[in-house]
Amino acid sequence: MKVLLLTNYFPPEVGAASHLFYNLGRMLTKKGYDVTVITGFPRYNVKVLDEKYRNKFFFRETIDGISVLRVPILPFLKRTLFVRKIEYFFVPGGLFVGGLIAGKHDVAIIYSPPVTIGLAAFLLKKIKKIPFIFNVQDIHPQALIDIGFLRNRPLIWILRFIEKLNYKNATFVTIHSNGNKEYLAKQGVNSSKLVVVPNWVDTELIRPLPKMNNFRKKYNLGDNFVVSFAGIMGTSQDLRTVIKAAYLLRNHNKIKFFLVGDGVERLDLEKEVNKRGLNNVIFAPMQPREKYPYVLAASDVSLVTLKKNVVTPVVPSKLLSIMASGRPVIASLDLNGDAPKIIYKAGCGLVVEPENPEKLAKAILELYFNPKLCDEMGLRGRKYAEENFSPQSCISKYEELFRIIIAR
């Protein structure tokens, strides 16, 4: 069976979006599916473009058995706000052309956001008769409206129109939590199309590892209590609250904040740390996939943070990774969302209201003074991740959808 994956993010790009569809493609390939990925040239969290990608219009390569066709989208490595906005409308054109070149496929799986990527799937369905599964990770455009990224009314209308077109033309719409399913059903999406497929984490790659490792040595973390955040440093991640919590805990000399990643907020966060004269906050650049488990291992507790205006249902992928690493989590986000429900059910951490540095600092101190509780939460998180978020269990759900599509 030939499976086509359309995504705006793929290795060597670093990030949850890139890793998610890479793992999907890898697992399907191992099961004997003929998988082709259509994506752009690396530009997301990539500072220097590899020589093999330079001056190419199209580029074919094989990554771990996955056939990858790279197509032109926008040749900008610098991820400014303007570039991110206009890229929304270049992505579908490039991926559609790639889909035409790639040949005949039995089914396609589409990664959203960006929501505009669905236009490529819609055209490929009409022209090449390829049915598609629309995988919604973040509900756009609403999530963009919530964080103030999108305010232009005509543009909002256009994106909402595209969003409805995607749901209408998809054979199935996969979402990663029951909250997302309920939200989309209330928006009028046909309930028979909505299928919950939890996101997965590579529990073989991300696993409990020794705390004292090269990251501890390289960044002089020593035997301190390390509170880490690893990932995209964007507006919605609300790392300013983390900096404020670090300020409140500045006199606790054994507590260090380890912020690993890049994004539009990184420079401003560093300026804020310098302005406050904080010596308990250490920054490190975004790490490649193979080093990410060691960042988590070097931590005593890891953070998942989102601004309070992020109210569309979301389960950040980093939560699953933290659980798989055997470390406790402190989440600062919407208390009524799906992520807190997972944390409570697994018993793997603490949840505090978003944008409240005092409560975040209090939660950190609670775990700092209770190492036994940290260990217990970490063990429970690992067990829950193995039982609920393994790639194998999630892939089997896609295989069932494939069988239904082929039978129609």
Please state the three-class secondary structure of the chain as a single string: CEEEEECCCCCCCCCHHHHHHHHHHHHHHHCCCEEEEEEECCCCCCCCCCHHHCCCCCEEEEECCEEEEEECCCCCCCCCHHHHHHHCCCHHHHHHHHHHHCCCCCEEEEEECCCCHHHHHHHHHHHHCCCEEEEECCCCCHHHHHCCCCCCHHHHHHHHHHHHHHHHHCCEEEECCHHHHHHHHHCCCCHHHEEECCCCCCCCCCCCCCCCCHHHHHCCCCCCEEEEEECCCCCCCCHHHHHHHHHHCCCCCCEEEEEECCCCCHHHHHHHHHHHCCCCEEEECCCCHHHHHHHHHCCCEEEEECCCCCCCCCCCHHHHHHHHHCCCEEEECCCCCHHHHHHHHHCCEEEECCCCHHHHHHHHHHHHCCHHHHHHHHHHHHHHHHHHCCHHHHHHHHHHHHHHHHHC
Q: Which of the four pLDDT bands, split at 50, 70 and 90, describes residue 308?
A: confident
pLDDT for the residue 385 = 95
The whole-model pTM stands at 0.87
Mean pLDDT score, 367-392: 95
The CATH topology of domain 214-388 is: Rossmann fold (3.40.50)
Q: What is the per-residue pLDDT for 34?
A: 96
Domain edges within the chain: 2-200+390-407, 214-388
Q: Indicate if 214-388 has the same CATH topology as 2-200+390-407.
A: yes
Does position 227 have pLDDT exceeding 70, yes or no?
Answer: yes
CATH classification (class only), 2-200+390-407: alpha beta
Q: What's the rounded mean pLDDT across residues 179-183? A: 93
Lowest pLDDT segment from 84-98, 241-255, 354-368: 84-98
**Averaged over 107-135, what is the pLDDT?**
96
Residue 195 has pLDDT above 90, yes or no: yes
Comparing 121-125, 157-161, 308-312, 366-370, which segment has the lowest mean pLDDT?
A: 308-312
**Residue 173, pLDDT score:** 98
pLDDT at 53: 74
More confident residue, 86 or 135: 135
pLDDT confidence band for 304 (50 / 70 / 90): very high
Q: Decide which of 152 and 16 is more confident.
A: 152
Is the pLDDT at 313 greater than 90? The verdict is: no
Q: What is the mean pLDDT of the chain?
A: 91
Q: Provide mean pLDDT across the span 329-344.
A: 94
